[in-house]
Structure 1
Amino acid sequence: MSAARRTGSRAGPDPRWTLAACVLASSLSFVEGSVLNVALPAIRASYGASAEQVQWVVNAYLLPLSALLLLGGALGDHYGRRRMLVGGTALFAAASLACALAPDLAWLLAGRAVQGVGAAMLLPNSLALLNAAYEGERRGRAVGIWAAAGAGSAAIAPLIGGWLVDNVGWPAIFYINLPLAAAAILLAVLFMTESHDAGAGRTDYAGALLATGGLGGLTYALTLWSAYGSWSRGAVIAAAAGVAMTAGFLWVEHRRGRAAMMPLDMFTGRCFAGLNLFTFLLYGAFGAAMLLIPYVLIAGGGYSPVQAGLALLPLPILIAVGSPPMGALAARMGPRLPLTIGPLVVAAGMLLARRIDVGSDYWIGAFPAIAVMAVGMAIAVAPLTSSVLGSVEEQHVGMASGFNSAVARTGGLIATALLGAVLGASGAALIGGFHAAMIAAAVAAALASGIALTMLGTVKMRKM
């Protein structure tokens, strides 16, 4: 039974308006995640930023998004999902405007952090609103449209962003968020029915604060270490603080039991723990590749931002086309085999990325690596999503999905924090560091394959 019916709220006049609003709102995060990578070299040159500062242009957004996703969903359950969607979208738009007008790097980083908070509010509630507006097969189709729209946004965003960077300037990549946000808010206010489930709300503020602090301390420590190649006093203090707050977070979650933001009893199942370790390794490796490849193509290969966007285009297309049939195949044969093979294919693509060099031809260097990685992710993405939902009891499905999304973004967060030495290099050193990073990423992806083979057992697949 949908959340809307559990709380007695009436159905909206036409759920397609809800779908349209949710697609527009969630596209903000999908666009932001893919468009920024082609603008990073221009942002660095504009502010004369160091490698450490470039890392924080990415991680200032990923940190609050990773830490607050679960809290954002719980607040929507408790206070109203439409309210949180509208509030998160408005906050994201205001932060985007602040980023576009940023007079210095500190202002830009603050805007990026607020964008992350807004995304943590809107993303989980967009899916929850779809879940409340549709039932049965119509719900599955609606979620499929939502996911396809995200893939389409990710495909076209680097091209639009690259053109804007070349012809208008990098601040314009933040202006494109404003009409999307305005349309989403207008549709939500006019046509969307409120949905909430006060009994399921987990307003675990202490857990959210400690999770943010713990991730922040560890991320800052790794950023300092990777940028300067040594453990300075500041890095050690940040790491110690991060570990202490992470331990505090686990203690708080244990004390709160089922009322926790992240109920620890979900991890008693070997399969759920394995799937999330798998997600951390695979998405961390993939996030590192997606940050470095366009950066190296622009800074080391002489590509324009538009050319870098075009270079990445096969990736979202192949994932969008390949994921549905792989999901159907995995439903028949089980997810263990595709989750074992997919990361190995991704790892092979990352090793092929070592063919990318100064002056290398796109079709010989970048394209094979991008295409092979895309095929590997297409094999793994749909079975992973269904397996996460099937690894927990019915009442934990929403929590499991949100936590897995947070783990995927945390993998990208940690990977970005480790790339300072590469981002701080130039010329031959940049290419050499990139090749070494791709080998490390391939090892992480191969480890994910090993996790699938040894820890997943016979996980069931849950249909949407």
Structure 2
Amino acid sequence: MTEETANANACCDENRSFSKAALFSLALALLMPTLGVSITNVALPELAARFHASVATVSWVVISYLASVTTFIIGAGVLGDIWGRKPLLLLGVGIFSFASLLCAISGNLWLLIAARLVQGFGAAFILSQTLALASVAFPKAKVGSAMGLLSTTAAIGTALGPVVGGGLLHVFGWQSIFWLLFVMGGVSFTVCALFIPNEQLKFSATVKQYDVIGTLLLGLSCLLYALSVTAHSTKLSVSGTVLFMLAIAVFTVFLISQRKRRFPLINLAFFQHKLRNLTLAANFLVDAVAMSTLVVGPYYLTYGLGLSVMEIGMLMAVGPVVAACSGYPSGKLVDLIGVKRVMLLGLLQLIVGVVCFAWLPVQFGVYGYIAALFILTPGRQLFLTSNHTFVMSSATNQEKGLASGILNLVKNLGLMTGASVMVAVFVSQLKNENIALATQQDLGAAFTSTFLLAGAVIGVSLISIYLFSANNAEFK
């Protein structure tokens, strides 16, 4: 072996280990905002008792975080494209960690809610930059694996949240939840600063004129939409319909402003890629259906099968655990056989899983519920991993942050929509408005029809993507 060959091999080994360290750093950073979503849910009853607040008021501890992420996610992604993704990731980790400290020392509920709002702002930077950095830091043949690992990390964070939060709450009290996130932030900041490579940005000076007005308009429209789909559970004085119409109006103004501005927040040419638009729409529907399993499922488990809270909690962890196990293999499969095959396979398996979810729990109870999740969840991971790979790979280097922001925005909107609309569909099919008084037969019929409808919606997405991609050489 020549000296040049040995040096080249050593360099390749160094780059390979560095890439693994960078990917681990991104995964650690991503773990925080995903934990931030689920770890506080278990503490809501304790917070209600501690601050003598109503359930509707305490729910803002969760809603403020989600609304903040949804509001700022696009702007955070675009800022990463302009000022550098690593600096913006570190900024996000710093803000998230500082906000966690504020949460831990909050003396009243409204300070806690305000701190959660700031925490969501930091989470928006983390979420928008992790996918963007992964898509540019690794060769195209390895992007699928990177996306799969990040998808697995997100699922692990969601699964661990209730377990870790419950344990900390039982032993140390609710403040310990936020102290944990604060410590994780410090560790993540150090690791990311050390192992994520610095970018050499060579963008033109024109993109540095950031569209503040566009950011405010888009953020306001997203916030109004988030409030509209959660209005029924938060007892707002304004109806959800009015808030939704206001969201549409503000979003229309945003689109007009983007067409007229010389340097818009979002270059609307990004949405001229019709196949990518279809996959984003499918992403919205898939996340809405996935969330519906988490919010409609417990109603049937409680009133239809008569399970205890502890039993329901254990069952609710099945989906995230299966997702965590199937995320990375999904990414490897994308690298092996291509985005198109995995995406179509994922949608097909998801349809089968949703149909099984509609039928098996009603026929076989808990065992049917678990079996359906073992079919449905890997299908969702196959789709999400391939979709994220396709969207990020089809974006130019100057659009990576924007693409990552849009993916996360679509996800959040889908989750909120699923939590609202699918519950409304389920309840609307019950003969008795009080779900606790509904018969087991009525509950089963409503549960089955709700998820058969969800399966039909995913089927439309599968057919649309298959037909539109038939002659698309880019989609392989």
* 2:246 counterpart of 1:241: yes
Corresponding residue for residue 385 of structure 1 = 388
The verdict on how the C-alpha distance between 1:242 and 1:273 changes in structure 2, with shifts beyond 3 A counting, is: same
Q: Does the CA contact (< 8 Å) of 2:347 and 2:379 recur in 1?
A: no
Corresponding residue for residue 319 of structure 1 = 326
- Normalised by the length of structure 2, the TM-score is 0.76
Q: CA deviation at 1:283?
A: 0.6
Q: How do 1:178-197 residues align onto structure 2 when only pairs under 5 Å count? A: 178-190=182-194, 192-195=196-199, 197=201
Corresponding residue for residue 448 of structure 1 = 458
My pick for the range that moved more, 294-303 or 194-203, is: 294-303
The verdict on how the C-alpha distance between 1:21 and 1:393 changes in structure 2, with shifts beyond 3 A counting, is: closer
Q: CA deviation at 1:350?
A: 4.0
**How many Å separate the matches in 2 of 1:238 and 1:207?**
20
**How many Å separate the matches in 1 of 2:102 and 2:404?**
31
**How many Å separate the matches in 2 of 1:164 and 1:52?**
24
For structure 2, list consecutive stretches of 5 or more residues without a partner in the other structure.
1-14, 428-432
**How many Å separate the matches in 1 of 2:192 and 2:238?**
49
Corresponding residue for residue 7 of structure 1 = none
Give the AA of the match of 2:307: G
- Normalised by the length of structure 1, the TM-score is 0.78
Q: CA deviation at 1:38?
A: 4.5
**How many Å separate the matches in 1 of 2:131 and 2:343?**
26
Count of aligned residue pairs for this structure pair? 446
Corresponding residue for residue 114 of structure 1 = 118
Corresponding residue for residue 220 of structure 1 = 227
**How many Å separate the matches in 1 of 2:439 and 2:50?**
20
Once the two structures are superposed, residues 403-427 of structure 1 have per-residue CA deviations (whole angstroms, 9 ceiling, x without a partner) of 1221111111233355887999784
Q: Does the CA contact (< 8 Å) of 2:144 and 2:331 recur in 1?
A: no
* 2:426 counterpart of 1:416: no
**How many Å separate the matches in 2 of 1:104 and 1:426?**
34
**How many Å separate the matches in 2 of 1:214 and 1:377?**
28
Q: How do 1:27-106 residues align onto structure 2 when only pairs under 5 Å count? A: 27-40=31-44, 43=47, 52-53=56-57, 56-106=60-110
**How many Å separate the matches in 2 of 1:332 and 1:137?**
11
| Selected match of 1:301 from 300, 303, 307 | 307
Q: CA deviation at 1:186?
A: 2.0
**How many Å separate the matches in 2 of 1:74 and 1:393?**
13
My pick for the range that moved more, 371-380 or 390-399, is: 390-399
Corresponding residue for residue 8 of structure 1 = none
SS of aligned partner of 2:309: coil
My pick for the range that moved more, 207-216 or 429-438, is: 429-438
Q: % of aligned pairs identical?
A: 23
SS of aligned partner of 1:195: coil
| Selected match of 1:288 from 286, 292, 309 | 292
Give the AA of the match of 1:385: H
My pick for the range that moved more, 74-83 or 124-133, is: 124-133
Once the two structures are superposed, residues 203-253 of structure 1 have per-residue CA deviations (whole angstroms, 9 ceiling, x without a partner) of 22222211121122233233334666xx96554553343222111111122
Q: How do 1:340-379 residues align onto structure 2 when only pairs under 5 Å count? A: 340-352=347-359, 355=362, 362-364=366-368, 366-379=369-382
Q: CA deviation at 1:179?
A: 1.9
The verdict on how the C-alpha distance between 1:377 and 1:220 changes in structure 2, with shifts beyond 3 A counting, is: same
User: What's the Cα RMSD here?
Assistant: 4.2
* 2:178 counterpart of 1:174: yes
Q: CA deviation at 1:451?
A: 2.3
Q: CA deviation at 1:31?
A: 2.0
Q: CA deviation at 1:125?
A: 2.2
| Selected match of 2:165 from 136, 157, 161 | 161
Q: Does the CA contact (< 8 Å) of 1:131 and 1:139 recur in 2?
A: yes
The verdict on how the C-alpha distance between 1:253 and 1:335 changes in structure 2, with shifts beyond 3 A counting, is: farther
The verdict on how the C-alpha distance between 1:332 and 1:315 changes in structure 2, with shifts beyond 3 A counting, is: closer
My pick for the range that moved more, 43-52 or 336-345, is: 43-52
My pick for the range that moved more, 14-23 or 281-290, is: 14-23
Corresponding residue for residue 6 of structure 1 = none
Corresponding residue for residue 255 of structure 2 = 250
Corresponding residue for residue 430 of structure 2 = none
**How many Å separate the matches in 1 of 2:352 and 2:85?**
39
The verdict on how the C-alpha distance between 1:19 and 1:340 changes in structure 2, with shifts beyond 3 A counting, is: closer
Q: Does the CA contact (< 8 Å) of 2:323 and 2:381 recur in 1?
A: no
Q: Does the CA contact (< 8 Å) of 2:148 and 2:327 recur in 1?
A: no
**How many Å separate the matches in 1 of 2:44 and 2:353?**
24
**How many Å separate the matches in 2 of 1:438 and 1:42?**
34
Q: Does the CA contact (< 8 Å) of 1:281 and 1:448 recur in 2?
A: yes
The verdict on how the C-alpha distance between 1:22 and 1:64 changes in structure 2, with shifts beyond 3 A counting, is: same
For structure 1, list consecutive stretches of 5 or more residues without a partner in the other structure.
1-10
Give the AA of the match of 1:412: L
**Higher Cα Rg, which structure:** 2
SS of aligned partner of 2:265: coil
Q: CA deviation at 1:132?
A: 5.2
